[in-house]
A = this chain, B = another copy of it.
Amino acid sequence: MSDTPDSAVRMYIDTHRAAFLEDLAAWLRIPSVSAQPEHDGDVRASAEWLSAKLKETGFPVAEVWETPGAPAVFAEWPSDDPDAPTVLVYGHHDVQPAALEDGWHTDPFDPVIRDGRMYGRGAADDKGQVFFHTLGVRAHLAATGRSTPAVHLKLLIEGEEESGSPNFRALAEQHAARLAADAVIVSDTGMWDETTPTVCTGMRGLAECELQLYGPGQDIHSGSFGGAVPNPATAVARLVAALHDADGRVTVPGFYDGVAELTDTERALFAELPFDETTWLRTARSGAASGEAGYSTLERIWARPTAEVNGIGGGYQGAGSKTIIPSSALVKLSFRLVAGQHPDHIEQCVRTWAEAQIPPGIRHRITFSPATRPCLTPLDHPALQAVTRAMGRAFGKKILFTREGGSGPAADLQDVLGAPVLFLGISVPSDGWHAPDEKVELDLLLKGVETAAHLWGELAAALR
């Protein structure tokens, strides 16, 4: 066995792998669903569990930070090198709603290992990817013989990411001094696939709203009144249908204001990836690709803004039939945003557009959730090269570049801390984020540990 740092890291990880997975499973058993008030206590328990685990890992500081909503966890492990750069790791400990009846094969909150994968809500999004930093920093110390990390290491693991991070920006502003960093590492994204390690360079933003339409003061008989009064379910459908034109472009006036169009270089980088639409459709479990005309599937997901219906409802949806005109209907819409778009502008555009669509006799209410801004990492930043090198050492392969279609509050950290945001994620598209049977590939999870173990040395050198 070689005694290079890389093999020493691997040996350390092999030795501690079983305990690491047991600990992760224990964390996944806490159903920290931030969107459902009945799980408020679980989100808190998750924060307390993580804080205790980080202290056990060796972080001299590990605290639960209160917010007006769910608590976050902050931890800090200063380097004994006073000139070391400071790096802040971002992740989240809350998870999406999940229930066995949604189509899970096993209880989403009782994780199991099957075929080299751990199944459970949060396995990939995001507990697994937060947790690899615990074993990562221990392996870094063991392999380098250091007693403290090569960088001043900070972690901020929030508890409301799956609810749109409503209090995150305020939290970051409140604690800006303690969070100050030379770079932010976001561990809440993925890579291309099981065999193609990649570094993500940007995320889309997210604006979400619920639109309620109100028609008759109560459900009324569709025989007695049908054909003669406006139906809110019809109105909500017309509104959704009017969201896109025949080319799949969003029709909301002003929606595309400021959108950063793809450069030829960026399109070429995307084209380097081994994209196979058939495989991708299988992952999406979709029968066809469709979207904005003039863009490839990857461009649609990574670099184009969207409007999607997350939920629609109104009237009778149970067994049999009920001949009513429903009194109300709703639609939950989400808008993915790209660099150049600002959520406040999007909200104003959507409100103005929606109000103009509502027919006489229908009242409405639009509620926007707190938004997430888009972000892009400059391709020429030295920290991006450091992340790429750390990942290359762990995977032993050329690292390619992607973006992420999903959204996270990374842009807020970029704004508040004035630091560049880098992405380190090992999740793959088949992991089933937000879906039944969410899982993480154990091999990749351990490569994440390994990358994290190399990252602090690489960043210390790159940012010094």
Interface residues, chain A, CB within 8 Å of chain B? 35-37, 96-97, 102-103, 163-164, 190, 204, 206, 208, 210, 215-231, 233-234, 236-244, 281, 284-292, 297, 300-301, 304-306, 308-327, 329-332, 334, 336, 359-363, 369, 404-407, 429, 432-437
Known: A230-B290, A313-B314; 4 extra A-B contacts, CB below 8 A, are A204-B223, A219-B435, A223-B433, A233-B311
Question: In the complex, are the beta carbons of B228 and A297 less than 8 A apart?
Answer: yes
Could you tell me if A285 and B218 are in contact, using CB atoms closer than 8 angstroms?
Answer: yes
Task: Collect the chain B residues with CB atoms within 8 Å of residue A432's CB.
Answer: 218
Measured between alpha carbons, how far is A339 from B387 in the docked complex, in Å? 74
Contact B334 A288 (CB under 8 A): no
CA distance A285 to B218 in the complex (A): 7
Collect the chain B residues with CB atoms within 8 Å of residue A405's CB.
Answer: 223-227
Bound CA span A208–B5, Å? 70
9 pairs, CB–CB < 8 Å, chain A vs chain B: A35-B320, A37-B319, A208-B323, A220-B284, A226-B301, A226-B405, A228-B297, A233-B240, A288-B360
In the bound complex, residues from chain B placing their C-beta under 8 Å from that of A434 are 219-222, 322-324
Q: For the complex, what is the distance from the CA of A310 to the CA of B223, rounded to whole Å?
A: 11
Complex alpha-carbon distance, A405 and B329, angstroms = 24
In the complex the two chains form, is A321's CB within 8 Å of B233's CB?
Answer: no
B-chain residues with CB within 8 Å of residue A334 when the two chains form the complex: 222, 226, 321, 323
Give the nearest-CB partner of A320 in chain B. Answer: B35
Interface centre among A102, A219, A281 (most CB of B within 10 A): A219
- Copy tally for this chain in the complex stands at 2
The reply to whether A317 and B301 form a contact with Cβ atoms under 8 Å apart is no
B241 touching A404, Cβ below 8 Å: no
- Chain B residue nearest to A336 in the complex (CB): B226
- What separation, in Å, do the CA atoms of A292 and B226 have in the docked complex? 11
Q: Which residues of B contact A323 (CB under 8 A)?
A: 206, 208, 310, 334, 406-407, 434
The answer to whether B221 and A435 have CB atoms under 8 Å apart is yes
Q: How far is A217 from B327 in the complex, measured between Cα atoms in Å?
A: 31
A62 to chain B, nearest CB (A): 28
Kindly provide the distance from the CB of A384 to the nearest chain B CB, expressed in whole angstroms. 21
Contact present for B317 and A330 (CB under 8 Å): yes
Given contacts A300-B227, A334-B226, whether A362 and B312 have CB atoms under 8 Å apart is no
Shortest Cβ distance from A296 into B: residue: B228
| Residues of chain B lying within 8 A (CB to CB) of residue A319 | 35-37
State how many angstroms separate the Cβ of A348 from the closest Cβ of chain B. 20
The CA of A316 and the CA of B311, in the complex, are separated in Å by: 4
Closest residue of chain B to A230, judged by CB? B290
Q: Are B230 and A288 in contact (CB under 8 A)?
A: yes
A361 to B280, CA, bound (A): 14
A104's nearest neighbour on chain B, judged by CB, is B218
With a cutoff of 8 Å between Cβ atoms, the chain B residues found around residue A284 in the complex are: 216, 220, 225, 228-229
**Once the chains bind, are B312 and A225 in contact (CB under 8 Å)?**
no
Whether A288 touches B227, Cβ cut-off 8 Å, given contacts A233-B312, A321-B210, A322-B35, is no
| Chain B residue at minimum C-beta to C-beta distance from A285 | B217
The contact of A289 among B361, B369, B407, by CB within 8 Å, is B361
A284 to B432, CA, bound (A): 46
